[in-house]
Amino acid sequence: MLTFFFLGALLFVFLLGVPIAFGLGFIAVMGTVIFLNPAQLSQLVEIAFEQGTSTTQMVAPLFILMAELISHGGIATDIYKVLSKWLRKIPGSLGLSTIGASTIFAALCGSSPATAVTIGKISIAEMNRHGYKPSFSVGTTVAGGTLGIMIPPSITFIVYGIITQTSIVKLFMAGLLPGLLLSILLFLFIYLRVKLNPSLVQHNSTKDVAIVQEMKVEEDSYFQDMLKLFPALGLIFFILASMYLGWATPTEAGGIGAFGALFIVLALKRLTWKGFLHILRETAKTSAMILFIIIGGLCFSFTVSSLGIPQHLSETIIAFSANKWVTLILFYGLLIILGCLMDPVSMVVVTMPFVFPALMALGFDPIFIGVVSTLLVEIGMITPPVGMNLFVVKGITDLPYREVVRGSLPFVGVLLIGLVIITLFPEIILFIPNLMSN
């Protein structure tokens, strides 16, 4: 009954439109007053104080600052232009360039909607200008954006690590190979789809001539192209290597990334004082939102844990589960549905207090659960009716929403294939974390 009470309360406050953070905090306070001892409210105060003053909480703001600087500095545009030139002789080259640029930018961003919007502002207009089918252009951009929360650094991994007390460094490293696998699958899907259906990317003869002339004008040397890519690739390598080798904690790596991004945009002379103030404001807004969600989630988790709800659910699931893999599949279905309705951070904070103890009791690895949960949210974010990436990309194009959905649906199947592969072969997720442990 308590479980249904808290689930009903969550549904009620969300339907009212109350922000997730404050809804979770309100339910935690009311649950403590009604079902526990009001004196335990002091525990919620301690949770808020500890999280608000913890150095661990600096991880997200530093990586968000890095992403804002990189996005403002036009690094994504440089990456996309170089890749589109290198791949121009391959069928569907601009679509492939979109996935490639999304893969690289994801390692500098940590957010799926931000990746989709930043790359989409460049790629959609470019693909449409070159005669690509609009729904195909949008679908490719939406799919590429999903890589933003899988390839490290990932804001979702940071929140999951804090909520479940799992190593953030190992979560980052665990997301690397699955992220690259998804990128490869998207590459192959676009290439094969264009080969089988060339009308997706065919352009008229007038555009053919214009494109050839444009390529001759914009032809740069390989060395110049590498100079454009080197700042981003060098920063990514240094951040990941510093964490893998133990030279830096996630917080320190975030500081390195933010300083490196600032140095890059200053060296390229792409940062004004007005732009810098805008970057700081956006970083503060996003960081404050995430901090409040984490505090609300941990307070909610404290209340339900004190009432023994997760433990009871774990015992019930184990007692009635004939096979732990059946339970995992049901968990997959739940997260795909929730991924359609809420952002990744909120989804992790709401679900983990209930499902995480049960999954651990069934013998699943917390790092494995963190990675597959992130992929499930990615699938939900491009699944209608209300996938978040669908709406953010719709906001940067005049294409009807139904066309955005039509273009995105084929890519849902690609991500599902990726989910099946990493579920059947969890070593893909655990390989690098295990190397670190050894």
Task: Using alpha carbons, list the distances in angstroms from residue 25 to 20, 79, 335, 344.
Answer: 9, 42, 22, 18
CA distance linking residue 372 with residue 136, whole number of Å: 27
C-alpha–C-alpha distance, residues 25 and 42, integer Å: 13
Three-state secondary-structure class, residue 396: coil
Amino acid at 155: I
User: pTM of the entire structure?
Assistant: 0.83
Residues belonging to the chain:
438
Of the pLDDT bands very low, low, confident and very high (cuts 50, 70, 90), residue 219 is low
Q: How many CB atoms lie within 10 A of CB 437?
A: 9
pLDDT at position 217:
42
- What pLDDT is recorded for position 366? 95
Lookup result for tokens 């795909």? 336
Q: pLDDT value at position 358?
A: 86
Residue 341: its pLDDT value, please? 65
Of 6-10, 17-21, 89-93, 211-215, the range with the highest mean pLDDT is 89-93
d(CA 258, CA 243): 15
Amino acid at 133: K
Q: Count other C-beta atoms under 10 Å from residue 296's C-beta.
A: 27
How is the chain split into domains, by residue range?
Answer: 54-198+219-437
Q: How confident is the model at residue 98 (pLDDT cuts 50, 70, 90)?
A: very high
Give 2-17 pLDDT, tens digit per residue: 877 887 888 788 778 7
Higher pLDDT, 223 or 156: 156
Given a contact cutoff of 8 angstroms between Cβ atoms, the answer to whether 414 and 190 are in contact is: no
pLDDT over threshold 50, residue 205? no
Nearest to 117 by CA among 358, 389, 370: 389
CA 287, 387, 168, 326 torsion-angle sign: positive
* Residue of higher predicted confidence among 350 and 274: 274
Exposed, middle or buried by CB within 10 Å (0-12, 13-18, 19+), for 211?
A: middle
